[in-house]
Amino acid sequence: MANGQALLEQISQRQRPEQFRQEHWHGTFAEYLDIVRTDPRVARTAYQRLYDMIMAEGTYPVDGSKELIRYRFFDDPHGAGEDAIFGLTRPLMELVNVFKSAALKYGTERRVLLLHGPVGSSKSTIARLLKRGVERYSRTAEGALYTFGWKEDDGSIVWDPMNSEPLQLIPPSHRPEFVTFLNAGRGEHHYQVEIEGDVCPFSRWYFQDRLEKCDGDWTKVLESVVVKRLFLSEQDRIGIGTFQPKDEKNQDSTELTGDINYRKIAEYGAESDPRAFNFDGEFNVANRGLIEFIEVLKLDVAFLYDLLGASQEKKIKPKKFAQTDIDTVIIGHTNEPEYRKLQSNEFMEALRDRTIKIDVPYVTVLNEEIKIYEKDYNPERVRGKHIAPHTLEVAAMWALLTRLEQPKHHGLTLLQKMKLYNGKSLPGFTAENVKQLRKEARHEGLDGISPRYVQDKISNALVVNTDATSLNPFMVLNELEAGLKHHSLIGSEEEREHYRQFISMVKEEYTDIVKNEVQRAIAADEDALTRLCGNYIDNVKAYTQREKVKNKFTGQDEEPDERLMRSIEEKIDIPDSRKDDFRREIMNYIGALAIDGKTFNYRTNERLQKALEMKLFEDQKDTIKLTSLVSNVVDKDTQEKIDIVKSRLIRNYGYNDESATDVLQYVASIFARGDAKSDEK
């Protein structure tokens, strides 16, 4: 067995000191100019770098849509999907469009980006993804950026406290000449270097001090400048700031713009000496990167002046100093109640005017909501307990029903609307109809139950049902319903009752789903389905061609079996008046396949397959005696047949032994109740 020292030596051999030295490069200002001329991207603004970072991960189209695209960045590919954003395609497109406009300096770079939505709608996750992204991007060759420091007489280096862009050291009067030099040989369609803003008061003091020693030759001043590669880091408070409002009595604007270091006043003699000032406010820290304002609209009014200046003027005002340039992306997030306060507060008018609001609603597409729960509740995370099929699906269904607005279209139920949003087709509804439904529901997704509540209740269900090896939909639905009594964000008993009705609606939908699965499992006898299909096609062929059918047992020619054909066609709601059309469609389809040299298979016609399966189920359910499961008196022959059905549920639908047994018993009880009602009649 290797000891600890051997392990350390193995790891040491894998280290790449040359790469480390390259990444932590130090050089002169002149060398930095050569770097900029070779790769002008190093001098990008914070918005330009953020936009390029997102686009570097690529995009892909959304299924079935020409106008919607997904940005792979928001799938969190570097974090194994841990912070992936599901759904929200339009809000994310809107957000990236703002970044693009800001990168092109069309004006949005001078605005506060406000992510607005209900609790638990991924606002913080989006901000976290962006912060982690700029951290990671700054460590790549494509995302490299640089800052500078001042070489002291003793050889030590005092780094610029706001990690400013080295090009800002060039006096404004000489900048056009340097811009021409740096952009020489590049066309207008390539990235063009621009020099904007000035260094912070700290570096300005050093510059002026050295300028006196160099008799006014500022190029000599730059000889004492050391340039280095800069890595952004939230943990180290480099380029990424986060501000969260506290108690109003404890709020102090110096948290944003820095404060005097009283211990250094004695050393430097004056409060106005920038060396006696800590440029460590969140805006100072966030220079060259990004700042997140958590619950931004809870800020005290005094803070708003700093926020407005930082957004509109790209400047902040540290105590005792002139306005200071900053280059940072400002992202805040807030919920609906706080945003309504902003709209009604006349003192906030200036902020409203400088804000770009991006709605981040709850997910309203079922498959995307299911993915949210699958991320946390999957075989890798939940060990020792099987999650039965449809368990997460019914939880997602219920959550979505609470978020959707009642459709104005007569005859369309909320459940059907949910299915349309999920890409299902309904007679009479086109893709344009679905777009119209979304347009009509302007507030959709901004109310309802959050994914957090559902996740909490799934967790409860996993913990509470200790005896069960499988978590089933009813366990989760029961937890969801029970939790409504104590849900702090539900305003009235009427709303609670409304949500309870959705529980009943979801139970009915789940019942239909599992009945269909059990039916298909019972009817999954390939040979029997093939025989039934062959029999049906023989009769349809004879019917459409006005021929007789030869009885395989007697050898006699007989009339087509109308009863058999109708018993199959009725399963998919083919009315008697349409039977001739349907039968001709089937024969034309078979004929077209024959011309291409292909053989007809019932699986290629979804409607016919469904009809055959339902017919076979009806024929076999009595022989299997499924209802005997309810009485627990099952003979050997029936048990064998039930075990076959159970194995199909396990193999084809993802059940385990316990959950398959539960579903069979549940469906059996439904049929038993149906038989009892029939007997009563």
Map residue 452 onto helix, strand or coil. helix
Share of the chain above pLDDT 90, in %: 42
For residue 341, the model assigns a pLDDT of 73
For residue 1, what pLDDT is reported? 45
Six token digits for residue 339: 């945003």
Indicate if the pLDDT at residue 13 is higher than 70. yes
Which letter, b or e, does each residue of 130-166 get, where b requires 16 or more Cβ atoms within 10 Å of its Cβ? Answer: bbbbbbebbeeeebbbbbbbbeeeeeeeebbbbbbbb
Question: Is pLDDT above 80 for 635?
Answer: no
Segment 477-509, tens digit of pLDDT: 999 998 888 776 776 788 888 899 999 999 999
Give CA 385 to chain center in angstroms. 27
Mean pLDDT, residues 206-213 taken together: 93
Give SS3 for 325: strand
What confidence category does residue 346 fall into, taking pLDDT thresholds of 50, 70 and 90? low
Phi-psi region of 654 (alpha: psi -120 to 50; beta: other; left: phi over 0): left
From CA 299, how far away is CA 306, in angstroms rounded?
Answer: 11
Identity of the amino acid at 142? E
Average pLDDT of 316-343? 86
Dump strand ranges (E) for 565-632. none
Percent of the chain topping pLDDT 70: 93
Q: pLDDT band for 555, please (50, 70, 90 cuts).
A: confident
The rounded radius of gyration (Å) of the Cα atoms in the chain is 34
C-beta of residue 224 within 8 angstroms of C-beta of residue 151: yes
**pTM, whole model, 2 decimals?**
0.83
Cα–Cα dist 81/585, whole Å: 47
267 pLDDT above the threshold of 90: no
Q: Residue 231's CB: how many other CB atoms inside 10 A? A: 17
pLDDT, tens only, 105-129: 998 899 999 999 988 889 999 999 9
Closest C-alpha among 570, 556, 568, 562 to residue 539: 562
Residue 390 CA to residue 388 CA, distance in Å, equals 6
Q: How far apart are CA 492 and CA 243, in angstroms?
A: 34
Q: Two tokens at 562? A: 């109308």
> What is the mean pLDDT of the segment spanning 318-335?
91
At 198, list the tokens: 């000035």
Q: What is the pLDDT of residue 680?
A: 43
The two tokens of residue 634 are: 């099952």
Confidence class of residue 681 from pLDDT cuts 50, 70 and 90? very low
pLDDT tens digits for 152-185? 988 899 999 999 999 999 999 999 999 999 998 8
**Residue range 10-36: mean pLDDT, rounded:** 82
Burial of 671 (0-12, 13-18, 19+ CB in 10 A): middle
Q: What is the mean pLDDT of residues 378-393?
A: 89
Tokens 């006096």 belong to residue:
171
- Whole-angstrom CA distances from 678 to 229, 344, 624, 671 are 81, 62, 19, 10
Read off the pLDDT of residues 506-534 as tens digits, 9 standing for 90 and up: 999 999 999 888 888 887 777 788 888 88
Lowest-confidence pick of 264-268, 541-545, 627-631, 653-657 = 627-631
Task: Give how far Cα 627 sits from Cα of 14, 477, 636, 639, 668, Å.
Answer: 65, 25, 15, 12, 5
Range with the poorest average pLDDT among 17-21, 59-63, 382-386, 431-435:
17-21
Residue 225 pairs in a beta bridge with: 150
d(CA 473, CA 393): 8
Per-residue pLDDT at 361: 92
Instruction: Give me the half-sphere count of Cα atoms (radius 13 Å) on the Cβ side of residue 50.
Output: 30
Rounded Cα distance between 243 and 291, Å, is 8
**Which tokens go with 167?**
């090009």
CB contact at 8 A, 295 and 178: no
Name every residue whose Cβ is closer than 8 Å to that of residue 600 and which is 6 or more positions away in sequence: 537, 589, 590, 593, 594
What mean pLDDT value characterizes the chain?
86
pLDDT mean over 8-15: 77
For residues 42-59, average pLDDT:
96
Residue 236, amino acid: D
Q: How confident is the model at residue 19 (pLDDT cuts 50, 70, 90)?
A: low
Mean pLDDT of 55-72: 87
197 pLDDT above the threshold of 90:
yes
Q: What is the mean pLDDT of residues 22-45?
A: 91
Predicted pLDDT at 399? 95
For the chain, helix (H) and strand (E) counts, in that order, are: 29, 19
pLDDT of residue 64: 66
Cβ 199 vs Cβ 178: under 8 Å: no
Domains of the chain: 18-39+146-230 (no CATH), 46-104+107-139+234-361 (3.40.50.300), 366-520 (no CATH), 526-680 (no CATH)
What residue has token string 């059940």?
A: 655
Mean pLDDT calculated for residue range 633-653? 79
List pLDDT tens digits, range 403-414: 999 888 777 899
pLDDT at 262 (0 to 100):
86
